[in-house]
Chain A
Amino acid sequence: GENVEQHPSTLSVQEGDSAVIKCTYSDSASNYFPWYKQELGKRPQLIIDIRSNVGEKKDQRIAVTLNKTAKHFSLHITETQPEDSAVYFCAAKSIGGSQGNLIFGKGTKLSVKP
């Protein structure tokens, strides 16, 4: 089955710096890769997703890149702000396959210092 590895587990940056979180997946059939942000005591919120027919996707300060050959995808946050502090989870699944569940990475705790 699918396995998703996420690094680093913790990341501390200064406000205004960039943050990068990386994930690798094992199942070449996976074709959908969402990223969720979970603030303390709150639900995971979808912040960006990418499908395997696209190499990069941007939404304001957030971007995700996908390398299908290497089976890895990354989240890039530019000009970080204190409100970006949260746990970020990557996930993978195969859209259109029989197994619809998301396989999650273990999460990255991002701290943005003012």
Chain B
Amino acid sequence: KAGVTQTPRYLIKTRGQQVTLSCSPISGHRSVSWYQQTPGQGLQFLFEYFSETQRNKGNFPGRFSGRQFSNSRSEMNVSTLELGDSALYLCASSLEQASRDTQYFGPGTRLTVL
């Protein structure tokens, strides 16, 4: 089976712009979770989608949003980018809800905000 894929792998944006990141889970997996990884804060949970519904949300501002499509692919959007949004954004998929199952990570999207 193909693993979790994320596009694009690298992005450079400027402050105030918005960005959309995409995640395709492992075939058959229905849950997608998003994490932000920075050197200072480590891996922090953003949100989880299961069956097109947001099931859980971390402590991030409303500028961070997401959605999931009927084929389980997920997108994450960040509006009004700030310098502090520079990070590696990882998505992870699991067969069932993340609360019940092991999560497998994608390669990440490296976002740089200038």
A36 to B104: give the CA distance in the assembly, Å.
Answer: 10
Across the interface, do A42 and B58 meet the contact criterion of CB distance under 8 Å? no
Across the interface, do A107 and B42 meet the contact criterion of CB distance under 8 Å? yes
Interface residues in A42-66 by Cβ distance below 8 A to B read 42-46, 49
Residues on the A chain within 8 Å of B77, using CB = none
Answer whether A46 and B102 are a contact pair too, CB < 8 Å, given A101-B45, A105-B42. yes
Across the interface, do A100 and B97 meet the contact criterion of CB distance under 8 Å? yes
Chain A residue with the shortest CB-CB distance to B3: A43
A26 to B33: give the CA distance in the assembly, Å.
Answer: 22
Contact of A44 among B31, B98, B105 (CB under 8 A): B105
Q: Kindly state whether residue B103 has any CB partner on chain A within 8 Å.
A: yes
Count of A-B contacts judged by CB separation below 8 Å = 63
Across the interface, do B42 and A100 meet the contact criterion of CB distance under 8 Å? no
0/1 string, B53-65, CB within 8 A of A gives 1: 0011010000000
Across the interface, do A43 and B106 meet the contact criterion of CB distance under 8 Å? yes
B side interface size, CB within 8 A:
26
Closest chain-B Cβ to A93's Cβ sits at a distance in Å of: 7
Q: Kindly state whether residue A104 has any CB partner on chain B within 8 Å.
A: yes
0/1 string, B74-114, CB within 8 A of A gives 1: 00000000000000001010000111111111111000000
Answer whether A100 and B33 are a contact pair too, CB < 8 Å, given A43-B105, A43-B107, A94-B99. yes
Q: In the complex, given contacts A46-B104, A100-B48, what are 16 additional A-B residue pairs having Cβ atoms less than 8 angstroms apart?
A: A34-B102, A42-B107, A43-B4, A43-B105, A43-B106, A93-B98, A98-B56, A100-B97, A100-B99, A101-B45, A101-B48, A102-B33, A102-B43, A104-B42, A104-B44, A106-B42
